Each structure stands twice: as C-alpha cells, then as structure tokens.
C-alpha cells in the first residue's frame, strides 16, 4: 500500500513523528558550503553566499576577487557582485525581514544589498567605538542586529528601516563571552532588545539601561539559542548537556546528556518541540522525552529555522525537517484505522472499482466530515503535488457523501496550493510551507515576488487571491523605467500606459516621480499628464520644473491651495519680474497672489502693479496707506501741511489722474487732501483737535456748532456743497445748539430749496414740539404734514391733514400708529368711513 511507504520515511521522537522530505536538488554546480559564508533568509527566502575570508581555502579556476552571490532556495542564481569593500573581514551577514542582506565588517561598517546584489546606499557605520575596537560577532533578528567588539562593548541597531546605532550598557567583562544570543524586542518587557551573554557559570542580560545577572550556576554555557516565541532558551553546557530553560531562568524545562562535551557547530530549534544539534556528520534531534533521533550527513549542512520546522541546506539538496502534522499522521500512520485513513483507503478501492470503497464509507459515515477535513489539511502540508492531488481527491470523494460540509474549504485549499506550488517551482524557489505562508500573508509574499522582479507571477497571484494589483503594477512600472534606459520616452510611455490602465485609480504621479528620479524628466512630464488627481499632479509638475503646466493644472482643479503652492514655488525661484509676468498671464493666479500680497506683502504688490501698469491700483494702495498712517502717530508728526499723509494722498491723486476712467477717484483724492489741509488749519485756529479725519459734512457741522459760521461757509464754498445739503446740514446743526432764533432766521432767509422738511424733521427728532409746530403748516405735502403731526402725537391735526390728502391708505397707517390710543383711533375710523363713502359714491 502506498500509505505504508509514506510512513516509512518518518522517524519517531518519543511519541511524535518527524519527516524530512527533500524539496529541492540544489541547482548550483560544484558548491561547497565549507568554503563559504552563507546567509539564508527564513520563509524560503534567498541564500547569500560569499567565500569565507576567515578560512584558508584553495582557489581553483577562479578569480582571487571575492564574489557575493545570491541564490534562491533552489540554488538558482539570482544575482552576483564583486565584493570590494575595505574595513576588514566580514563578521556577520544576514537577511532582514524586508529581505535586505546586511553585511557587517570588522570596522563596524554595515553594507546593505537587495536581492539583486545592488548596494543600498548609504552604508551605516556602527560608530567610532566600533571602528576602533573591531567588531567580533553579530547576532541578528527580524529587522535588527547587535554586535560585540573586541573590547566587549555591545552595540545595537534596533530597526534597519530606521538605522540608528546605539550602545547598550557596558557588561564590564574581562574576557570575551562564551556565547551570545538575543531576545527580540517584541518578546521583552521593555520593548527593547535584550542580549544574553554566557559568562562563567551564569548568563548576563544586557539592555540599554543596565546589566543583570541570571541563572547563576547553570553554566558555563557554550552555546545558546532562543526559541521562536522568545520564551525558551536552548543551550549546551561545558559538560555536554543540552539544557532548555525558560528565558527568565526560573525553570529548567528539560535536560539531556550528550555523549560528547564538544559543543555543537550549530544549535537550532525545530518548531517548538525539539532542539537540533549539529556536529560534523551528525545531526541530533533532542526532545523533552525519549531517545533522540540521529541523522547522518556526509557533507556539511546549514540549519535554517522556520516557524514550523527547520530547512536543512547541504551542498546538493534542500530538505525540510518538520513534525508530521496530525492530519497526515491520522491518514498515513501504519495501521491507522482512523476515519481519514479509511477515507483515503476508500478512494483507492474506488479507483480500483472495488466494492470495498463503499464498505469503508459505511464504516465512517458519522465522522465523514472530519475525515474530509483531515484529507484537505494533509494535502495542504504536502510538498509533493501528486500526493496533494490524491489527498484532495479523497477529500472530494468523501465530500460527495457528506451533506453538511463547508464546500469552499476544499476550494480554498486548492487555491492556496496553486499559489504555493507556483512559488515552490525551481525558477521562483520559495519553498513555503502552508503554515509559513499563512504567517507571512499573501501580500508580503507578493511584495517579495515583486522585489525579485517576478511581476507577472505576483500579478497573477494578486489577481487570483483578490488582492489589489496596484502595488504590483506600480512596482513593475518603476522597475521598467529603471531598466529601460535604451527605450525612447514615447515608446516607453506606451508600454507603461498599456499596463497602468489595468488598474483603476493607480497613481500616475508616483510613477512619474520615479521617472523623474531616474533622470527621465520628459517621460515624467508625459506620465504626470495622465494623473487625474491634481493634488498629486501639481507638486510633481513643480518638482520636474514644469511650472507653467503646474499653474495651468492647479487652476483647472479650482483648488486655490494648489495654486498658492505653485505661486510660492515660482515666487521663490524666479526673479520678481519674471514671476510677475507669469502671474499676470493667469487671472486666477494673479488674483490670489494679489489677495495674499494685499494682506502680507504690500510693497511687493506695489512693485507688481507698477510692473503691469495698473497705476490706479497702486493709487488705491497708497491711499489706503494714508489711513494706516493715522494708526501710527509717529508718522503724522512734523509739519501738518507737508505731512507725509497728504503727500501720499497727492501721490495717489497723480496716479489716479493717469487714467481717464479714474477721474472721479482723482478728484476725490484731491478733495481729501484739501480737506485735510483745511482741517489742520481749523485745528490750529480753533486750538481744538476735533477736525482731522471727519467728513466734509461733519467739518461744516462742527464749525456751525462752534458758532464759526465764516469757517463753515468757507468749507461750503471750497467743496461746492449743494444748496439742499447745506440746508439739511445747517438746520440740524442749529437744532443741536438749540439756537431757535437763528433757526427761524435761517428759515426766513429765502424760500428753502428743500422746503421746510429739514426744519420739521430736525425739531421732531429733537423732541421740540413747540418749535416743530412752527414749521409743519409750511410743509407743502399734506401727507408729510399728517405724518409729522402723527409723530408728535397730535391725532386730530394729523387726521385733518390726512383727510386733505384723500389718501385712504395713509389713514389706515396713521390709525395703526395711534392704535393704543382709543380716542385717536376712533377719529380715524370716522374719517375713513367718510372717505370710503365718498370713494364709493
């Protein structure tokens, strides 16, 4: 039976099965791990290889120059570069979570490469101390690193995305520690990295803030490694024991005595269940219970810990050592009679057209759903596609007999496996297990694929898994631009647009920005033309120097903020005259500039108006300035006649008179200056500072009130005040001074051009009934008479006057005025009745 052969490859560690399928035969030719320093990225990532300069190796037919080569997990070379860095030996090399290869050399310089072996500038220096003391050893985790120097000082880069080296507390060591490892920041209380140093018989925990002594007496420890979840520490003691301790050193979880006291070359966790020790030729797997499993190797290997097992890289193959998943055990364990095994068996019988298939199904009827589930799950854990297929077929076969089973579970698994199989192929070489894939997530996987320039696959996967393809297309477009120096702008634009249009809402501006950065300004300009979002488009146009277009686009968008952005940009970059020219050509831009400058850059605005010949606008500005001067008392000091204020106003007047259309303003400015002069004079002669900045009318009024009728007349003639206005003014002024004789005399001077209305109104307003009555009869219009009487509360007289006017409506209104007064209102009622009667007859 096939099932038997499957289980035959398993090894039992106490009660758990382990398997170690080969996932790749390495594609590299004649490769010796021993001669090289190797860095393997987890999650089936790339492998970086460089000749080990700490070993003496024989050179065959090769250059003495060292080469850094990067392979995928199947040993297919992705890229290579010549290593020419100075700074001493390469001390440490590892991949970060972002798949950046970090190489640390003795003098503390950190070089970074991407998967294309392109150096990522800038290089990081670990600082002066490292430079002087020499780095001896490095430990890496996710996105960080610590290193220790010959002077036993520890330095750290907590996050390579933001590489700021810092120094940890001085552990005050005399000798170099026996071993070193770290607890990742995400698992520590402080949120900062903790370094564990094996020193004498104990361990030192070093942090930024201080040093702590832990586990006195457990050691001396020769080798340490922390488990994936940061909770457990596996170590190898000087007397040949494997010791697993909780990382707070409160508890020893288990202990195993090895035959040799020689510390292993490599120590690693296999998932969370067992610890691997590697010496030359022997790989030992130790679990908490039972005898360890021993594997023999006749070539060097490298252990690559993964979340659910360990990949084992040798010169010729890549294996994956993992605990056999429970679902797989339930199916393939020798002699298993669990439902899943019977279902798998049933399919075999079915394929052979044997009736035993039915028998099997009957046996497991009640637990069919769990059997189907187990088959699906087991399929997911398989690397072998034919076995995946068989398991899925078994699931599908069983599913046909189950009514309540989530059918999309099978479909989901097929989808997932398609993705996994695609990336596991030799040319891609990412041997993810299903558990790793789930941990990594599809979007990160897509990110890694596009970083490796596997855009097409990434595109297909994101399409298949329903993720947004924008990331892929965007990256592709940028990569395409970088790689297409030889293609003409127009041709390249066409190629790019063809793909960019696949994705709605993609940011053309971002692609254009990349084109610009790659030195293809013209292409950038062409691309940005396609960007629909002005808020993205305009800043970019500015950065590629397309200022005019930016101004046009900003104006089109109607977003005044964008227009200002462009304006300030040009304003800063260009000489004023050039700026004025550009602004003048765009009405909205011009108006906004003027609005801003009016508030904040007065003088500059004047220059602008002068340059564009808008003299009247300069005049208005000057004229407004003259008012500003009032607020600033310092400026108006000095001789009043030639005061700076009047000068400015006269300057404004001259500018106004330059254009015919502004004759009115010119005249007004002239009069304004004249008025100010007269007011100054008046203040001097009257010794009262009450004239300046009042209106012509007020000046006249003040003169009359002060009894200075000559001065009033002078102002009147000087400003050609009309007869009518003069009467209104003088009457009101006289009433203010309560000079009733003068008022009467004035009324009799001649027939007033305004009629007697001003006299009546002024007296009524002042509440002078007796005076008012003198003038009311002289009013010509009976309506006005009636209203005046009404305002004085004289109902009878009002009614009489109203009846003269024969105005029904007026009567109604008057009645409303007298509404509170019963007697008065009856007068109006009778009158109105009479009127209506007359009107009706």
Contact residues toward another protein (CB under 8 A) are: 532-535, 556-561, 564-565, 568, 587-588, 590-592, 594-596, 598-600, 620, 623-624, 627, 630, 664-665, 667-668, 671-672, 675, 693-698, 719, 721-722, 724-725, 728-729, 754, 758, 761, 787, 790-791, 813, 816-817
Residue placing its CB nearer to another protein in the complex, 97 or 768: 768
For residues 32 and 315, give the distance between their C-alpha atoms in angstroms, rounded to a whole number. Answer: 6
For residues 778 and 771, give the distance between their C-alpha atoms in angstroms, rounded to a whole number. Answer: 13
Q: How many CB atoms lie within 10 A of CB 281?
A: 12
For residues 311 and 305, give the distance between their C-alpha atoms in angstroms, rounded to a whole number. Answer: 6
Q: How far is the CB of 602 from another protein (least distance, A)?
A: 13
Q: How far is the CB of 464 from another protein (least distance, A)?
A: 23
Q: How far is the CB of 415 from another protein (least distance, A)?
A: 25
Instruction: DSSP letter for 119, please.
Output: B
Q: How far is the CB of 791 from another protein (least distance, A)?
A: 7
For residues 343 and 374, give the distance between their C-alpha atoms in angstroms, rounded to a whole number. Answer: 10
Residue placing its CB nearer to another protein in the complex, 148 or 733: 733
Q: How far is the CB of 785 from another protein (least distance, A)?
A: 12
Q: How far is the CB of 493 from another protein (least distance, A)?
A: 21
Residue pair 164/192 in contact (Cβ under 8 Å)? The answer is no
Please name which of 202, 256, 251, 213 lies closest in space to residue 231, comparing C-alpha atoms.
Answer: 251
Q: How far is the CB of 727 from another protein (least distance, A)?
A: 8
Residue placing its CB nearer to another protein in the complex, 167 or 574: 574
Residue placing its CB nearer to another protein in the complex, 272 or 780: 780
Residue placing its CB nearer to another protein in the complex, 523 or 764: 764
Q: What share of the chain is helix, strand, coil (3-state, %, to 5)?
A: 50, 20, 35
Q: How far is the CB of 164 from another protein (least distance, A)?
A: 22
In the block, which residue shows the tokens 């392979």?
Answer: 71
Q: How far is the CB of 52 from another protein (least distance, A)?
A: 51
Residue placing its CB nearer to another protein in the complex, 448 or 672: 672
For residues 224 and 24, give the distance between their C-alpha atoms in angstroms, rounded to a whole number. Answer: 30
Compute CA distances 304 → 39, 75, 310, whole Å. 9, 15, 5
Q: How far is the CB of 695 from another protein (least distance, A)?
A: 4
Q: How far is the CB of 402 from another protein (least distance, A)?
A: 36
Q: How far is the CB of 689 from another protein (least distance, A)?
A: 15
In the block, which residue shows the tokens 């940028």?
Answer: 478
Structure tokens at 532: 């629909």
Q: Let me know how long the chain is.
A: 841
Residue placing its CB nearer to another protein in the complex, 341 or 731: 731
Residue placing its CB nearer to another protein in the complex, 267 or 798: 798
Residue placing its CB nearer to another protein in the complex, 78 or 588: 588
Q: Which spans in 425-559 are helix H?
A: 434-440, 442-451, 455-465, 470-483, 489-500, 508-517, 521-528, 534-543, 547-557
Q: How far is the CB of 609 from another protein (least distance, A)?
A: 14
Q: How far is the CB of 405 from another protein (least distance, A)?
A: 32
Please name which of 322, 442, 391 lies closest in space to residue 23, comparing C-alpha atoms.
Answer: 322
**Gyration radius of the chain's alpha carbons:** 49
For residues 566 and 734, give the distance between their C-alpha atoms in angstroms, rounded to a whole number. Answer: 61
Residue placing its CB nearer to another protein in the complex, 426 or 568: 568
Torsion of CA 413, 414, 418, 420, to 10 degrees: 20
Q: How far is the CB of 513 from another protein (least distance, A)?
A: 18
Please enumerate in sequence order all residues whose Cβ is within 8 A of that of 53, keeping only pairs 6 or more positions apart, or say none: 66, 89, 90
Residue pair 143/161 in contact (Cβ under 8 Å)? The answer is yes
Please enumerate in sequence order all residues whose Cβ is within 8 A of that of 395, keeping only pairs 6 or more positions apart, or say none: 343, 372, 373, 375, 376, 379, 410
Residue placing its CB nearer to another protein in the complex, 424 or 672: 672
For residues 501 and 503, give the distance between their C-alpha atoms in angstroms, rounded to a whole number. Answer: 5
Q: Return the ∠ at Cα 147 (arms to 240 and 35), rounded to 5°.
A: 65
Residue placing its CB nearer to another protein in the complex, 209 or 765: 765
Q: How far is the CB of 558 from another protein (least distance, A)?
A: 4
Please name which of 88, 89, 87, 110 lies closest in space to residue 100, comparing C-alpha atoms.
Answer: 110
Residue placing its CB nearer to another protein in the complex, 111 or 620: 620
Residue placing its CB nearer to another protein in the complex, 146 or 565: 565
Please enumerate in sequence order all residues whose Cβ is within 8 A of that of 420, keeping only pairs 6 or more positions apart, or say none: 432, 434, 437
Q: How far is the CB of 594 from another protein (least distance, A)?
A: 7
Residue placing its CB nearer to another protein in the complex, 187 or 728: 728
**Widest Cα–Cα separation across the chain:** 140
Q: How far is the CB of 613 from another protein (least distance, A)?
A: 18
Residue placing its CB nearer to another protein in the complex, 592 or 734: 592
Structure tokens at 337: 């009679």
Residue placing its CB nearer to another protein in the complex, 497 or 668: 668
Beta bridge partners of 275: 269, 286
For residues 774 and 771, give the distance between their C-alpha atoms in angstroms, rounded to a whole number. Answer: 5
Compute CA distances 248 → 486, 536, 685, whole Å. 60, 52, 98
Residue placing its CB nearer to another protein in the complex, 298 or 661: 661
Structure tokens at 767: 């509440």
Instruction: DSSP letter for 115, please.
Output: T
Q: How many CB atoms lie within 10 A of CB 177?
A: 22
Residue pair 275/242 in contact (Cβ under 8 Å)? The answer is yes
Structure tokens at 122: 């800038």
Three-state DSSP class for residue 183: strand
Please enumerate in sequence order all residues whose Cβ is within 8 A of that of 415, keeping only pairs 6 or more positions apart, or say none: 464, 465
């Amino acid at each position: 039976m096939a099932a038997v052969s499957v289980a035959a490859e398993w090894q039992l560690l106490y009660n758990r099965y382990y398997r170690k399928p080969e996932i790749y035969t390495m594609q590299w030719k004649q490769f010796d791990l021993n001669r090289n320093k190797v860095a393997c990225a987890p999650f089936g990532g790339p492998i970086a290889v460089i000749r080990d300069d700490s070993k003496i190796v024989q050179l065959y037919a090769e250059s003495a120059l060292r080469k850094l080569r990067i392979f995928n997990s199947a040993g297919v070379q992705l890229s290579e570069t010549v290593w020419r860095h100075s700074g001493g030996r390469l001390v440490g090399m590892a991949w970060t979570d972002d798949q950046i290869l970090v190489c640390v050399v003795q003098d503390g310089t950190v070089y970074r490469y991407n998967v294309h072996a392109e150096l990522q500038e800038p290089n990081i220096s670990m600082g002066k101390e490292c430079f002087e003391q020499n780095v001896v050893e490095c430990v890496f985790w996710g996105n960080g690193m610590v290193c220790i120097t010959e002077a036993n000082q520890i330095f750290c880069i907590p996050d390579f995305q933001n590489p700021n080296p810092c120094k940890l507390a001085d552990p005050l060591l005399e000798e170099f520690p026996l071993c070193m490892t770290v607890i990742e920041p995400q698992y520590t209380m402080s949120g900062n990295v903790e370094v564990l140093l094996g020193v004498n018989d104990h361990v030192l925990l070093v942090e930024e803030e201080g040093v702590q002594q832990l586990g006195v007496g457990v050691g001396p420890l020769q080798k340490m490694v922390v488990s994936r979840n940061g909770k457990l520490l596996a170590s190898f003691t000087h007397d040949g024991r494997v010791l697993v301790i909780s990382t707070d050193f409160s508890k020893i979880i288990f202990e195993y005595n090895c035959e040799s006291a020689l510390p292993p070359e490599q120590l690693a966790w296999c998932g969370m269940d067992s610890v691997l020790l590697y010496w030359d030729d022997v790989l030992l797997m130790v679990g908490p219970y039972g005898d360890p499993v021993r594997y023999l190797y006749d070539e060097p290997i490298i252990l690559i810990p993964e979340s659910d097992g360990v990949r084992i890289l040798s010169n010729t193959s890549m294996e994956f050592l993992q605990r056999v998943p429970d679902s797989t055990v339930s199916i393939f364990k020798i002699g298993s009679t669990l439902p899943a095994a019977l279902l798998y068996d049933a399919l075999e019988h079915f394929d052979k057209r044997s009736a035993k298939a039915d028998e099997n199904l009957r046996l497991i009827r009640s637990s069919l759903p769990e059997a189907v589930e187990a088959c699906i799950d087991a399929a997911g854990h398989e690397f072998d596609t034919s076995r995946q297929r068989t398991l899925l077929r078994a699931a599908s076969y069983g599913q046909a007999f189950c009514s309540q089973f989530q059918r999309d579970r099978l479909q989901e698994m097929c989808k997932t496996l398609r993705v996994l199989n695609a990336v596991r192929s030799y040319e891609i070489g990412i041997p993810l297990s299903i558990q790793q894939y789930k941990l990594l997530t599809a979007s990160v996987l897509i990110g890694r694929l596009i970083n490796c320039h596997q855009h097409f696959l990434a595109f297909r996967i994101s399409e298949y898994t329903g993720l947004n393809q924008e990331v892929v297309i965007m990256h592709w477009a940028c990569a395409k631009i970088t790689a297409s120096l030889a293609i003409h702008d127009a041709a390249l634009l066409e190629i790019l647009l063809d793909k960019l249009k696949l994705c709605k809402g993609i940011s053309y501006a971002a692609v254009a920005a990349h084109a610009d950065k790659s030195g293809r300004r013209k292409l950038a300009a062409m691309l940005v033309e396609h960007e629909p979002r002005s808020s993205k488009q305009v800043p970019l146009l500015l950065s590629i120097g397309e200022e005019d277009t930016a101004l046009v686009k900003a104006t089109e968008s109607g977003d005044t903020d964008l227009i200002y952005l462009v304006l300030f940009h040009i304003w800063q970059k260009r000489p004023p005259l050039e700026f004025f020219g550009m602004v003048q050509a765009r009405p909205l831009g011009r108006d906004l500039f003027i609005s801003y400058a009016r508030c904040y850059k007065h003088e500059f605005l004047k220059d602008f108006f002068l340059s564009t010949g808008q003299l009247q606008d300069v005049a208005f500005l000057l004229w407004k300035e003259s008012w500003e001067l009032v607020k600033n008392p310092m400026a108006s000091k000095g001789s009043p006649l030639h005061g700076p204020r009047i000068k400015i106003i006269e300057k404004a007047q001259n500018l106004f008179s330059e254009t015919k259309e502004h004759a009115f303003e010119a005249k007004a400015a002239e009069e304004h200056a004249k008025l100010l002069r007269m007011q100054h004079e008046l203040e001097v002669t009257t010794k009262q500072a009450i004239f300046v900045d009042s209106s012509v009318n007020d000046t006249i009024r003040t003169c009359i009130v002060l009894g200075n009728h000559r001065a009033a007349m002078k102002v009147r003639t000087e400003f050609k005040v009309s007869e009518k206005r003069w009467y209104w003014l003088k009457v009101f002024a006289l009433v203010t001074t309560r000079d009733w004789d003068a008022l009467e005399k004035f009324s009799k001077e001649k027939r007033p051009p305004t009629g007697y209305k001003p006299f009546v109104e002024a007296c009524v307003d002042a509440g002078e009934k007796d005076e008012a009555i003198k003038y009311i009869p002289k009013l010509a219009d009976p309506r006005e008479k009636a209203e005046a009487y009404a305002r004085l509360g004289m109902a009878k007289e009002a009614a009489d006057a109203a009846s003269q006017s024969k105005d029904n409506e007026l009567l109604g209104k008057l009645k409303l005025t007298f509404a509170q007064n019963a007697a008065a209102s009856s007068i109006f009622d009778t009158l109105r009745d009479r009127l209506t009667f007359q009107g009706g007859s």
